[in-house]
Structure formats: structure tokens, C-alpha cells
Structure 1
Amino acid sequence: MDKSQKKLPTKPNDGEYPRKVVQCDDGETLEERGRKYAKLITSPELAAYRVIDGVEQNSGVEAQLDVPTLVETLRDQAKAVNDGNLTQAEAMLANQATSLQSLYARLTEKAFSSTQLPHFDSFMRMALRAQNQCRATLETLAALKNPPVVIAKQANVTSGPQQVNNGIAASRAREIENKQIQLSAEGNELRTNTRTPALTGRINQEMETVGKINRTEDKRR
């Protein structure tokens, strides 16, 4: 063994490295133990590990994989996203787009090397699916890097238009604004005043009576 090579670290009672068992604390009571195991079984990082483990079977990578380290790494990546750090997600999408581009190119080569039309058609269909998925992945990456901004007018706000990054919130704001416009229109609607003719007639009658009195006084003079 080369002296420059360092021995892989091991811990007491952990067995040989790499470890192939998912670790979980037992807890002090049976109830606590049950909760911890239930939390582990339903955790997203364990689900991701199960998929990765199934994919990497017989690939040569699985043999060198330390399961507790993988689960902890997946947990750390999820926490980073929750904290707003999307570096891992952006790198993942960029690499997936590159891989899909390679898949598209290879399937296209297979199609044009085919001598039978059914084979050509099958390979080209798969190639175009890979190309379309590559495009969708790049669009997702672009949206992640530059989230769309929706300008919506907030009702009863004097500070002017507000920026809303959520399309649902913008739609809700427009709905509220439309309802308020409808209510305002109903409150300010011109209604027929059925009392106006009666009021006008009364005023005219009073003016006519005053006119008669004035003419009578003029005659006496």
C-alpha cells in the first residue's frame, strides 16, 4: 500500500467503510423512537437516496457510496434551498440541459445511421423529446435566475403600482380592484328621481300664487 494514500476514516461500531445502513437515533422511549423512525422514513432525503441507490446499482459508484454521508448531503442541499441558496439547483439544471443536449445528438446520429424507416422514426421521436426537454430545462433555469415580475395596481393604495412576484397575488389584486370598481359604479349610478316632478310642480304653484298677489296689489294702487 502506498504510504501517500490515507486510510479511510472509520468510527467504532460503525463497521466497514463505506457504510450501507441508514442511521437513525433510537430515542430514549419507544414513542420517541417511533417518531424518529417515522420522520426518517417520510423524509425527502431518504426518498432521494432510495432512487439514487436503485439507479446506481451495478454502476461501480454504489460500491463506494457511504449511505449516511449521502443522506446528510441531501439534507444539507435541501436546507440550502430553504435558506434561499439556489446554487445547487442552478448547477443541476445547467448540467441536465447539457446531458439532454448530448442525448439529443446521440439519438439523432442513431436515427440517420438506421437503414429502416421504423427505426429512423423511433430514434428521431426520442431525439426530439430530448431536445424539447432540454429547452424546458433551460427555460426553468432562466426563470430561476430571473423570476418574472408582474405589475399590479393595489386597491386603495396611494403609493402607486406595486411589484408582485406571484402571479396568483397579481390575479387576486385585479379581482379585488374589479369588484371595487363595480361597487363604485353601483353607488354612483344616476337614478331616476320620481319626486322631482312633484317638487317642481309645488315650486311652480307657489310662484304662481305670489304672482297673483303682486298683481292684485298693483291694481289697488
Structure 2
Amino acid sequence: MSAAESGHAALMDGVYRHQRHVYDLTRKYYLLGRDRLIEGLHVPPGGTVLELGCGTGRNLIRAAQRYPDARFFGIDISHAMLETASAAISRHGLSGRTALAKGDATAFDAKALFGQPAFNRVFISYALSMIPGWEKTIPAGLAALAPGGSLHIVDFGQQERLPGWFRSGLRAWLAKFHVEPRDSLREALESECQRTGSSLSIQTLYRGYAVHAVVTRAS
């Protein structure tokens, strides 16, 4: 891990060392669209799913319950979050088909981490807005897909149809947690789709509060 990556890992451990214990309880009120993403994964029977920035494991658990025939994998840069995720996955009896590893979502080797070279689905839920150099996560996620697989993203949008006071207040509050909505996400996705020949479906949710994107790799 580079010095920059190690610095970000230490920052995330510091931010979430205590928050991780109440993270899921508090975040459910404003991390909107996560369950919509999970429902839209449509994982094939016996498929494999990777979450980048898996945090507390909340999404992996929901997805594993929704798709009982699939296998799940998650990486996160925070050791503290991975401890919480591992404990939660074990409590739900999902350790047998869920594997976790410490890694950087912008540059990872899935085969080295999991012995799994490619996945049917890769998803990123409210993590791009926390990752320095987040643009690199998109090609990294696409590179981890099997042919015909899809990359699913949900994150903060531009809040373009919400009142200005709400938008400015939300962003000021998010900044306290080192979170920054990625206003150029659409452009970054379109660029990668053009480069790789992938197709893109993107929609705004809740008057622009969130954005939900699906990139499908060519077969």
C-alpha cells in the first residue's frame, strides 16, 4: 500500500473507529437507494458479487439474503470497518459464502485477494464520495467484471431539484465526514463506457438527491 493509501486507511479508521458501532442505525435515513441497487443486481444462480468499499457489511448481508445461491466478496480500506463487517456476517450465518479483504478500491487484485479473477456483479454503494482518486475505482471495477457482467453504483447526486439551502447544508454536513458528492460521475462513466464498449444506464433518484448507475460490460 502506498503512503497515500496508508494515509487514507488511517483516516477512515479514525473516522469510523467509534461511528461504525452506530453507522447502520444512523445512515439508513440518508443513504437512500441502497436496497434498490441490491434488488437490481439480478445475480445469476451460482453467481459471484464483489462490493467495493463494503464498510460494515450491511449491503453484503442484504444481498446475500436476497440471492442465496450466490457467493459474495467485499473489500474495504478500513481495518475497523472490516472487523465490524466480519462480525456482522458471522452473526447472520453467512461466513461460508462471504469473504472479506483489506484493499484499495482504486487499485486491487481480486485474484490475489480472493482467488477469484472476475465477478458477475460489482457494486459500489456510497463509497465513491469518500474515495480520493475515485475516478480510478470505475475502471478498476469494470476490469473485475466477467464478460456480460455489470457494475452497479449508488451515491449522492447533485441535488439539482432540491432547494439550494438543502443542497448547501447537506454538502457542508457531509464534508465533516470527508464525504464529497461526485458531480462529474456521469461524465466519468460515459468516458469509461466509450473506452470499453460498455453500456450505461443512469437515473437520478429523489429529486436528484441520489444517482443510480449500471454499467454493463460487453459479452
TM-score in terms of structure 2 length:
0.25
Bigger relative contact order, structure 1 or 2 (CA pairs below 8 A, ≥6 apart): 2
Q: TM-score under structure 1 normalisation?
A: 0.25
Give 1 or 2 for the bigger CA radius of gyration.
1
